[in-house]
Amino acid sequence: MTKVCWFTLTCLAWQAIVLPQVRAGRLRTDSEESVDSAAYAGLSTHPIPPNSFQPWYRLLVKQTQCMNPTFEPYQDALKDLDDAMVKKVKAMSMDKAKHENCRLCNIFFEGGRTGSIWNVKMVSCSIQSDDALQATPSKACLGSAGNPAKMSNGTGVKDRCLPCPNGCVGCAAPDWKAFGSSGVVFKCIMRAGDEEDIPKFPFSCGMADVRQKNANEVKSSCAFGKLTKHDFTSDLKPEDKPENAVQAAGFEATLSLKSVACSSWAQSQKLQLPSDGDKAGESVSRIADQIHRFARKENCRLCDVTMTSKKGELPWDLGENDIECAASQFGARACESSNGYVGWSKRRPCAPCPDECTSCEDDRRNPLKFHCAVMPTVTLETSPLAALTPLSWVSQPEKHKGGMASDTLKRIFQCQLENQKSSRNHTERNDERYLLATCVHPESYDDLYNKKATMTQKALEPKQQASGSLGSRRKFARPGGANRQGMSRRKRRW
């Protein structure tokens, strides 16, 4: 209930009243839960401003009916989660129909981890930002109070739904005043003899006089009255009534999920969407596999995911730009660090520096390449000790190869040694203990994940074998132990 109350506060009241109490520990919000979750997962929250309002999700619904907005395929879930906020969104959408004559609306709001609506960012007429609807205003606007197309074509204002009154055969911009989206003055053109049909409220029109361009027509200078007091939905034609409305062809809902754990998505994460039988489960499972593949390809641990639903149906496939690493929010902490330290590259925030490299840096010319200072791997027997001691067990010094013998550098990163003399121009390059190599960013880091999984499995095999042999010993020892206990009992009886 407290969440609903917070939404009624203004931004100033939020900063002046709620935030100080949150800092003092008297209130607890969902944004604090996100910080706690990040801290529990070992993430750094410094890249995010501590006082910023960070949502868990954003939902943008386009071309929904203003008088009866829907949010498919999330309609029922939103109503069950926060019915009061859904009613508020619908009331704001209805106002667009009443006072701006809009049929289709765009709605944009943000919410928390549990799905509750935190903040309504925007409710607007769809025609404002859609070129296709501006070409056919009848699809985006109501037609009971007049003809929006005549007003749009006559005045040249395409991004609103204000109608040309029914008594006018056409509308035009006034000759004496620039007409823009904020302008409310226009000319009503009527046939000669129809002066008595001058539009009434909410239109304020003057006396009609004969047009200079056409003596068979008269014109009247009109203006829209106080639209906030007028209801364009008070006298609707049957085709404009909400019960007869048909879902728009361009209806879609875009859900953006923030800070999703994507590296382990396919194994442990389940996205709770409204159930539609097996179809919903198949959709979520398919998307989960795509997110998991992206995480392995980009070496990402936290992702931002955008899903677009067309005509109320759950999405089946994600586009190339629908999944991104959340590095802009969490920095290098959004990347998988087990494959090598990250955050060194300015071009690729999640690119790992191989374990065989003591440091990495971007190639200034080729964005696909980077430089690696290969870690020295000189053993005791191949160290200078071999030349300084007469002990027979010490072998002769070998040529320094460093970590270049690693399969990771050769096969996965395609590293090649540079000219060691001409390449030394910074601290590590001046240190002869390091070999300098030029490497290539792989298209996918999937091989690193597979290598790590193989190494982990090999490390677990001895433990599994030991636990298995111990279990077999215990299994066969139980009968003998039982017999010995029985014999001791018989001895005590005798």
- DSSP letters, 68-92, are S---TTSHHHHHHH-HHHHHHHHHH
Exposed / middle / buried, residue 448 (Cβ in 10 Å: 0-12, 13-18, 19+)? buried
Residue 382 has a pLDDT of 74
pLDDT of res. 64: 94
pLDDT at 266: 42
pLDDT at 14: 32
pLDDT at residue 278 in the model: 62
User: Which backbone phi and psi does 75 adopt, to 5 degrees?
Assistant: -60, -60
| Predicted pLDDT of residue 138 | 92
Note the pLDDT of residue 125.
96
Using an 8 Å Cβ cutoff, are 226 and 247 in contact?
no
Q: Which residues of the chain fall below pLDDT 50?
A: 1-51, 180-181, 265-271, 273-274, 397, 424, 426-427, 473-494
Strand partners, 102: 141
Extents of the domains making up the chain? 164-231, 252-273+285-334, 357-443
Q: How far apart are CA 6 and CA 24, in angstroms?
A: 17
Beta bridge partners of 61: 107, 253
- Pick from 189, 231, 239: which is nearest to 209 by CA? 189
Non-local CB neighbours of 82 within 8 Å, separated by 6+ positions: 3, 4, 115, 116, 117
Of 60, 112, 114, 113, the residue nearest 89 (C-alpha): 60
In contact, 389 and 372? CB cutoff 8 Å: no
- The answer to whether the beta carbons of residues 289 and 302 sit under 8 Å apart is no
383: nearest Cα among 373, 395, 374: 395
| pTM, rounded to two decimals | 0.70
Q: Are 131 and 93 in contact (CB under 8 A)?
A: no
